Amino acid sequence: MEKESKIYVAGHNGLVGSAIVRKLKTKGYTNLILRTHEELDLINQQAVKEFFKEEKPEYVFLAAAKVGGIQANNTYPADFIYENLMIECNVIRSAYEHGVEKLLFLGSSCIYPKMAPQPMKEEYLLAGYLEPTNEAYALAKISGLKMCQYFNRQYGTNYISVMPTNLYGPNDNFDLDNSHVLPALIRKFHEAKEENKPFVEIWGTGNPRREFLHVDDMADACVYLMETYNQDEFLNVGTGKEVTIKELAEIIKQVVGYEGELRFNSSKPEGTPRKLLDVSRLHEKGWHHSIELKEGIKDTYRWFLDNEERIRGK
């Protein structure tokens, strides 16, 4: 990419998209094409076609998606598979039809089988049954990365895919009904501290293990790969490190300064027992994460405090 290349970031107001925009601007890219959902509905095929015909972006970061935690995925599976499939189909096809030079597709580590060997290597894709609670979302993301590979094979395009681990950071979703575990715990502990609650309830046993990557590291990886990586195989993006949900809760409790107790509700769903990515291929390509978990949680909590009024208003 040249500094003046026309770069379209789909989903620029979301967690990943906003971080990619920050990273591109920091690196001196000046010709960014951005559209809000109100300005361009990516589920509307005709609108997407007209946008690509008019703007003719040279590079595309496809970070737009319908996302949510266990409860949201479990409650609205039809919405998750439909909306994500439509976004992917419309953007990837229009990118091909209008000569986009390179596209990067953002997937998710939930594409891997529920009981995949750990850490999860890229070749474990489609080797077993998916986690039922987010199967609809996973199927959509698998379809997106396969679309990129099939367009490369049939049309000679240069579409690459990355599969991030659990992401967190500024612009995250802190809604207690449909957010992921880390931002939900930040809000839970913060509100419990404010209201002097004696305990915080956490879904599940606290035993499942998860890997977390700060979204600024994710954006750095995306821009790095857009600049340097041109192969058909998708890449895992993560830290290669994991913590239990209980350990995560203890870190967040300390960062927030909450002094009550933790109570684990084992009647609630908790998803896959373990989910750690093998990031050796990414390391071979020359990229490593730089933000460690506690440092990243401190940064995210600061952002939450700065934006608390807006978050509560949602």
pLDDT in tens, 189-218: 999 999 999 999 998 999 999 999 999 999
Residue 70 pLDDT more than 90?
A: no
Residue 21 pLDDT more than 80?
A: yes
pLDDT of residue 175: 87
- How would you class 179 by CB atoms within 10 Å of its CB: exposed for 0-12, middle for 13-18, buried for 19 or more? buried
pLDDT of residue 176: 82
Q: What is the mean pLDDT of residues 141-160?
A: 98
Q: What is the mean pLDDT of residues 35-64?
A: 98
Q: How confident is the model at residue 136 (pLDDT cuts 50, 70, 90)?
A: very high
Residue 210 assigned as binding residue: yes
Residue 16 assigned as binding residue: yes
Residue 107 assigned as binding residue: yes
Is 137 a catalytic site residue?
Answer: yes
Q: What is the mean pLDDT of residues 59-82?
A: 90
Instruction: Taking the CA atoms of 204, 291, 30 and 90 in sequence, report the sign of the dihedral they define.
Output: negative
Residue 106 assigned as binding residue: yes
Find, among 146, 38, 147, the residue nearest to 90 by Cα.
Answer: 147
Q: Quick check: helix, strand or coil at residue 36?
A: coil
Instruction: List, in order of start, the domains of the chain with CATH numbers.
Output: 7-313 (3.40.50.720)
Q: Are 131 and 271 in contact (CB under 8 A)?
A: yes
Residue 164 assigned as binding residue: yes
Q: Which residue among 8, 59, 112, 137 is the active-site one? A: 137
How far is CA 176 from each of CA 47, 49, 154, 186, 300, rounded to the nearest angstrom? Answer: 33, 36, 43, 10, 16
Q: What is the mean pLDDT of residues 289-312?
A: 95
pLDDT of residue 314: 56
pLDDT of residue 309: 87
Residue 15 assigned as binding residue: yes
pLDDT of residue 160: 98
Find, among 222, 113, 109, 96, the residue nearest to 150 by Cα.
Answer: 96
Residues sharing a CB contact under 8 Å with residue 291, sequence separation 6 or more, in sequence order: 214, 216, 217, 299
pLDDT of residue 103: 98
Residues 27 and 33: their CA atoms lie apart, in Å, by 16
pLDDT of residue 180: 84
Q: What is the mean pLDDT of residues 40-63?
A: 98
Residue 310 pLDDT more than 90?
A: no
Q: What is the mean pLDDT of residues 255-266?
A: 96
Q: Quick check: helix, strand or coil at residue 170?
A: coil
